[in-house]
Structure 1
Amino acid sequence: MIHPTLRPCFYLPLALLGTATSQAAPIQLPTQTVLGASDDTHELTLPLARSTLFLDQQPATSLGANLSESLQRVPGLLALNRQNYAQDVQISSRGFGARAQFGVRGVRLLQDGIPLTMPDGQGQPGLFDLDNLYRIEVLRGPLSSLYGNASGGIIQGFSSEGSYFPTLENRSAVGSDGLWRSRFKYGAQHGDLNVAANLSRLETDGYRDHSDTRRDMANLRLGWDIDDASSLTLLFNALDQPDTQDPLGLTAAALDADRQQAVAQAELFDTRKSIRHQQLGANYQRRLANDDEITVMVYGGERDVQQFLAFTGNSLYSGGGVIELDRRFGGSELGWQRDTELFNLPVTLAAGLSWDYQGEGRKGFVNQFGRKGNLQRDEFNRVESREAYLISTWQLAPRWSLTAGARYSKVKFDSDDSYFTDGQDDSGSVRYDQTSPALGLSYQWTPEISLYGAIGKGFETPTFQELAYRPSGSGLNFDLQPSKADNAEVGFKLRRAQTQVDVALFYTRVDDEIVTGEPQLNTDRSTYANAGKSTRQGIELSIQQQLSNSLSGYLAYTWLDARFDRYQSSTGDDLAGNRLPGVPRHSLYAELAWQPTDGFSTALEMQSLSQRYANDTNSADAPGYAAFNWRASYRQQLGHWQLEPFARIDNLTDREYIGSLIVNGAGTRYYEPAPERNWLLGVAVQYRWQ
């Protein structure tokens, strides 16, 4: 049954569907268009760091199941496969989000204009429809704050339309550790209706013990051009991931003894997570007679989670060792855009209103060594976000352009406690208000070179998961405050036929940095607190070079110095000057690709990270490493058929290294090791009717 608050989110798309008559145009919300989220010629003059990955131009040599496969080549961004599907990919941008022990924090996720980040700021990268994305854009810098509750940047995916002629494709792969994935994809133009749909299943035993996973996904995109001035796109996504085992992080001693083991608590309490997620969204666009463009976006869905943690949770205020979340969510955005003149200067204006809602029933039960026991917590939590934005891009002179904007956000958290056995009513609410202004100036030095500078303010609210527990006692931790960031950036861009260069220098000062606090009393559950101040400064560099007709090279390098300026821990230790945990000082991705013919391609990849600290005290760390990977594929057309076998070997030198860290992990269980040398073999088979 649809939650009453969400009914308009479902009824409006269905009402709009009744008017649709032809193929859909690419989805562009006004905010995204002004900030360059389109295949346009103005990217060179945008005053922000922007990386664009065209997935349809990349050989099919990866599993296609994890966002980290593509994002590892983006400077400033850390996208790590945790080898743990119970906790998803770990993503941080310029240090924001590195503390996240699951999901994504500090980086906003969107697909086709529809948020994959909840209004409290928690994002789910596993929801991206990677099988149908043709483009991923990553925005970093001060102007990304115009998207709302995120300080690190934006990751947005854009789906491709189905092919004109009916096309059916299967792509299957097998690999190390019992890995298997198969995907069926269909696309076609049926009269006025464009269809793109896919189904996939992934199964793996996992690199470590107690890591069995099965993940099923279904995605559907329907598009129409209603007439010459309007279009509509409808998207549906579903995920089913039952009983995904969680091996937990390893201590240093356990890592030395057996890097593939699961800790004893994982087996004892049968730690695991089950997820069911369904989401429906619609985008409607119309160009008016005066060339104004109106956009209406609505979405809604439900997400059910059951998670077994590594403790009983039977003490008075612990809230249980089995967590059940029953979430209903939805939202809408109304946007307007106009190209006009003000003060005799060409200007693009965009404005909009957005509303997002998340209602979640949270229950906690005793974990009776892998079985659900007595009720320990029962509450209903709501978060509602209301936002308004205004953005303008001015052409001040033939070579000068100015982008300025502001976004006002009001985020309210409410909790209704229904568990009174502990003798307390822990109901309560808190509201956060923030205005995020940003300003950027770009100078096009030559037709191929531009320089820019930008400043802005960003903010990041706590998520409900971070508010959920106090170090002692029960109820939400309403003392936790949002972090606020002052951002500055200057950059250089070069675009030539054979060469593309991007350089960005950035500085960020954060007040009330949200950090992992002390574990909850009598449990291993993390709580969160505000540190004093922190600073991030660094350089991002990317170079793409066509070396010859068949040989190309790519390099992405980041130097990042991220430190606490003022921070006294809960134990009274002065941590000022310490490095932010989980953030490497140096990161490098390099690639040399060879494509001697239209069908065959191969490449050598290298990814390197320097030392990363595992906790705020900097007393534990993961050493730096460099890992090399190889890939190859061969595409052949045989009439209506297309075959593409592919292979890859990761970690060619069979090096032992730490893939990801659980920052400030309970019980010093910080380490999530990466596999030694591992392989993947697969084939894509396509048939097209024409």
Structure 2
Amino acid sequence: MHSKFKFFLFALTLYFPFTVWSHTPSDSISTEQDITPVLINAYFSQQPILGLTSSAQTINTRFLEAQQTTTLLPAVNTVAGVRMEERSPGSYRLAMRGSLIRSPFGIRNAKIYIDDLPLTDAGGNTYLNLLDPAGIHAIHIIKGPDGSLYGANSGGVINIQPEGFDVSQNQTSLLLSGGSFGLFQEQLSIQRKVDNNYNFSVDQSFTRSDGYRDNTKLHKKTLQTAHRWQYTPKNDLRFFALYSNLGYRTPGGLTRDQMEENPRMSRPAAGPNPSAKAQQAGIYNKTFYGGITHRAQLHPKLSHTVSIFGSNTDFENPFITNYEYRKENNLGLRTYFSYENIDHPQVKWQMQLGFEGQKGWYKIDNYDNEQGVSTDPQAKDNLDNIQHSFFYRAMINLYTRWTIEGSIGLNQSKIAYNHRFPEITNASGRINFGGIWMPRIATSYRVHKRLALRGSVSKGYSPPTIAEVRPSNQTINSELKAETGTNYEIGGRIETANRRLIVDLSMYHYQMDNGIVQQRNDRAEDYYRNAGEIKQQGIETSVWTYVLVPNRQRFIQALNVHSSASYNHYRFGNYEVAEQDFSGNKVTAVPDWVWTNTVLMSFPKQFGLNLSHNFTSAMPLNDENSVFSEKFHLLQAKGTWMWSLKNKRQLQIFAGIDNLLNERYSLGNDINAFGNRFFNPAPTRNYYGGMKIVL
């Protein structure tokens, strides 16, 4: 693309530092200038985000629909301090206030829930790519370690609110879309409010894509249902179930020269190792996940919540050097009592006492890979994992201005392993990461009814996951230690009287000990080691504003703006490997700057236009800091048109462009890659469009 045209388009994004919501059937233009207060599901209740003691953000349905509906990546990346990558269609990686150096298959250092049900399994892994965006009502994000209440995590907590628990009216919708590189998507959603006591939803989806690069085909099928039944005025029952059948090919990393020669190629053969295409490298995941939650109001001030959940996963990974099969079963329990006293309007307090525990059974077998067919066995292991935590929290709110809360959790994690093949001595053993106390003290003070200042001190804790103790090099590493650290954070949030402008600012310092980093051997297999100290310091800011409040009398009827930025000063402490000293280097896979801007513009005749911009600075791709990725600017656009039909039916037609500037960049880089195969080229400019009918 001509450089002047690139500069012009980028200048537009600077002039409009925007965040986008798509124009959905529930949207309406109003002359009311007071924006609804932002609520978040956090710390056992729904509450206004202004007085929250943590840095947090909510992504609602409109925000998710503002982008391409096949992926969570664009919406999640608008949250300062949270970064998601997609190496190929369906292959998610996510980091919360941290690096992607611990992400062989997905998410590390974060705890993710669906309502009160942990999606993160007993082994520490989260298959976030199993969810379809259409089945999500909202995503609530709490940044910073909070092991005191939510078990092992050092980056933060994500609570996903599925469709179905809060249905307000009967609705059926069907979405069909298609796009570049063989993209096709179908989503069907049925939501029913049977009466005031029972409602449910059923969400089904199918997505396929050939992908931008060779050997990147995706097929994904999901079926999800959520039910809520208030069978007595004081008792509530919730049920959630998900089945996902996900399969995608993995193209593998390229060297810089290979990427410049042909960014669409998959990893070619090198030395004794065949190519990714010849080995039919890919990921195949069939998972059933389900859980049930019961909430009982035992007394006007006392309630009890208990959740039982579990999952079954069949996982296959044909790789360059082996063919891996994993059978994973998980079972868990989360329960707590909550006491709340609001008798005195000027002094309100509450406390919770609870337990969360999970047990996982993992069977991992590796075979030779003969062009996508498993043959002779290489290694077979069983690993059983137990994680549990006891937690307590107390909170007091004084004169509706000052909130003080303290919480503490006792976390424990153990792994038992049995090496079944080949036969060796000392084939069985146990790894005990011990018990660790996880305290948190936090406060928020409303200097003014529209200005709140906050501060917190919290402990972070993240034991090695099953995928790190037994990585793709097939060696059980019993020497890995859990990451621990203390996070110090201050921040503030201000909003105008009519909420036309909201600003949030956070500053944190997290001193991590025994940081776990990813390495690769000459067979491109992963293994992990502790890197000693990692110093994580950062500044995050977000701005929301209505530049033009809703008004039907103008050509631009509404203009909504959001901009977020994060600065990450992450450095290794004392870190030496063999004769190499990496102390003081930048932490691998962390950009210094990430800046996102998004906008929603509404026009007459129910036309809407969404623009979004993402700038990510260069980042080191190895611990030596000798190889860096290129910085990039991504610009996306989506236009929608809503047409009202008879009997409250609606038709939405939409079209979008991704990577409008036609940037050539790498997303989901391979960290510390052997043979300099760091890069996974992302798609160039591409298009999509479709329709959604609501009945």
Contact 2:40 2:46 in 1 (8 A): no
Match of 1:602? Answer: 609
Alignment deviations for residues 84-139 of structure 1 (CA, whole Å, 9 cap, x no partner): 42xx2121111244431321101111111211111232111113342122211111
What is the TM-score when the length of structure 1 is the normalising length? 0.89
DSSP 3-state at the match of 2:581: coil
Match of 1:195? Answer: 200
Q: Aligned partners of 1:263 and 1:34: how far apart in 2? A: 43
Alignment deviations for residues 590-612 of structure 1 (CA, whole Å, 9 cap, x no partner): 12321134722102211000111
Name the aligned partner's letter for residue 306 of structure 1. E
Alignment deviations for residues 21-66 of structure 1 (CA, whole Å, 9 cap, x no partner): xxxxxxxxxxx9994565433x2221110011111x3484433232
1:187 to partner: Cα distance: 1.2
Contact 1:91 1:98 in 2 (8 A): no
Match of 1:426? Answer: 427
Contact 2:237 2:294 in 1 (8 A): yes
Cα distance, 1:262–1:475 mapped onto 2, change above 3 Å: closer
Do structure 1's residue 460 and structure 2's residue 455 form an aligned pair? no
1:475 to partner: Cα distance: 4.4
Cα distance, 1:456–1:164 mapped onto 2, change above 3 Å: closer
Match of 2:51? Answer: 45
Q: Aligned partners of 1:81 and 1:144: how far apart in 2? A: 27
Match of 1:284? Answer: 294
1:179 to partner: Cα distance: 0.6
1:445 to partner: Cα distance: 0.4
Identity of aligned residues (%): 21
Match of 2:501? Answer: 499
Alignment deviations for residues 267-292 of structure 1 (CA, whole Å, 9 cap, x no partner): 23221221100011111101112420
DSSP 3-state at the match of 1:282: strand
Do structure 1's residue 127 and structure 2's residue 135 form an aligned pair? no
Structural mapping, 1:400-549, within 5 Å: 400-419=402-421, 421-432=422-433, 433-469=435-471, 475-496=475-496, 497-519=499-521, 523-549=523-549
1:551 to 547, 559, 581: 559
Cα distance, 1:237–1:139 mapped onto 2, change above 3 Å: same
Structural mapping, 1:119-198, within 5 Å: 119-143=122-146, 146-161=149-164, 163=167, 165-191=169-195, 192-198=197-203
With 286-295 and 536-545 compared, the bigger mean Cα shift is at: 286-295
Q: Which runs of 4+ in 1 moved over 6 A?
A: 341-344
Contact 2:616 2:633 in 1 (8 A): yes
Q: Aligned partners of 2:642 and 2:386: how far apart in 1? A: 49
Contact 1:306 1:325 in 2 (8 A): yes
1:145 to partner: Cα distance: 5.3
DSSP 3-state at the match of 1:465: helix
Do structure 1's residue 306 and structure 2's residue 316 form an aligned pair? yes
Name the aligned partner's letter for residue 225 of structure 1. Q
DSSP 3-state at the match of 1:621: coil
Match of 2:120? Answer: 117
Match of 1:676? Answer: 684
Contact 2:405 2:441 in 1 (8 A): yes
Contact 1:390 1:405 in 2 (8 A): yes
DSSP 3-state at the match of 1:267: coil
Q: Aligned partners of 1:478 and 1:179: how far apart in 2? A: 43
Match of 1:64? Answer: 69
Name the aligned partner's letter for residue 119 of structure 1. A
Match of 1:74? Answer: 79
1:534 to partner: Cα distance: 1.0
Alignment deviations for residues 290-318 of structure 1 (CA, whole Å, 9 cap, x no partner): 4201001011120010111112xxxxxxx
Cα distance, 1:626–1:481 mapped onto 2, change above 3 Å: same
Name the aligned partner's letter for residue 280 of structure 1. G
Please, what is the CA RMSD of the aligned residues? 2.1
Q: Aligned partners of 1:342 and 1:410: how far apart in 2? A: 37
Do structure 1's residue 357 and structure 2's residue 367 form an aligned pair? no
Q: Aligned partners of 1:127 and 1:437: how far apart in 2? A: 32
Match of 2:210? Answer: 205
Contact 1:578 1:617 in 2 (8 A): yes
1:620 to partner: Cα distance: 0.8
Q: Aligned partners of 1:310 and 1:554: how far apart in 2? A: 43
Q: Aligned partners of 2:259 and 2:287: how far apart in 1? A: 34
Name the aligned partner's letter for residue 654 of structure 1. N
- Count of aligned residue pairs for this structure pair: 636
DSSP 3-state at the match of 2:50: helix
Contact 2:238 2:293 in 1 (8 A): yes
Q: Aligned partners of 1:647 and 1:590: how far apart in 2? A: 20
Cα distance, 1:144–1:685 mapped onto 2, change above 3 Å: farther
Match of 2:255? Answer: 251
Name the aligned partner's letter for residue 271 of structure 1. A
Cα distance, 1:331–1:546 mapped onto 2, change above 3 Å: same
Q: Aligned partners of 1:80 and 1:488: how far apart in 2? A: 27
Match of 2:34? Answer: none
Name the aligned partner's letter for residue 52 of structure 1. T
Name the aligned partner's letter for residue 492 of structure 1. G
DSSP 3-state at the match of 1:622: coil
Contact 1:116 1:127 in 2 (8 A): no
Q: Aligned partners of 1:296 and 1:216: how far apart in 2? A: 30
Match of 1:663? Answer: 671
Match of 1:297? Answer: 307
Match of 1:399? Answer: 401
Cα distance, 1:38–1:680 mapped onto 2, change above 3 Å: farther
1:656 to partner: Cα distance: 1.0
1:573 to partner: Cα distance: 0.5
With 635-644 and 59-68 compared, the bigger mean Cα shift is at: 59-68
Match of 2:18? Answer: none
Structure 1: gaps of 5 or more residues:
1-31, 312-320
Contact 1:299 1:330 in 2 (8 A): yes
Cα distance, 1:386–1:598 mapped onto 2, change above 3 Å: farther
Contact 1:647 1:680 in 2 (8 A): yes
Q: Aligned partners of 1:98 and 1:530: how far apart in 2? A: 12
Name the aligned partner's letter for residue 657 of structure 2. I
Q: Aligned partners of 2:610 and 2:238: how far apart in 1? A: 37
1:200 to partner: Cα distance: 0.6
DSSP 3-state at the match of 1:517: strand
What is the TM-score when the length of structure 2 is the normalising length? 0.88
Q: Aligned partners of 2:147 and 2:430: how far apart in 1? A: 28
Structural mapping, 1:629-668, within 5 Å: 629-640=636-647, 641-668=649-676
Q: Aligned partners of 2:529 and 2:156: how far apart in 1? A: 22
Cα distance, 1:59–1:359 mapped onto 2, change above 3 Å: closer
1:361 to partner: Cα distance: 1.0
Q: Aligned partners of 2:468 and 2:461: how far apart in 1? A: 16
DSSP 3-state at the match of 2:134: coil
Q: Aligned partners of 2:528 and 2:168: how far apart in 1? A: 51
Name the aligned partner's letter for residue 299 of structure 2. A
1:175 to partner: Cα distance: 0.8
Contact 2:148 2:391 in 1 (8 A): no
Q: Aligned partners of 2:130 and 2:393: how far apart in 1? A: 29
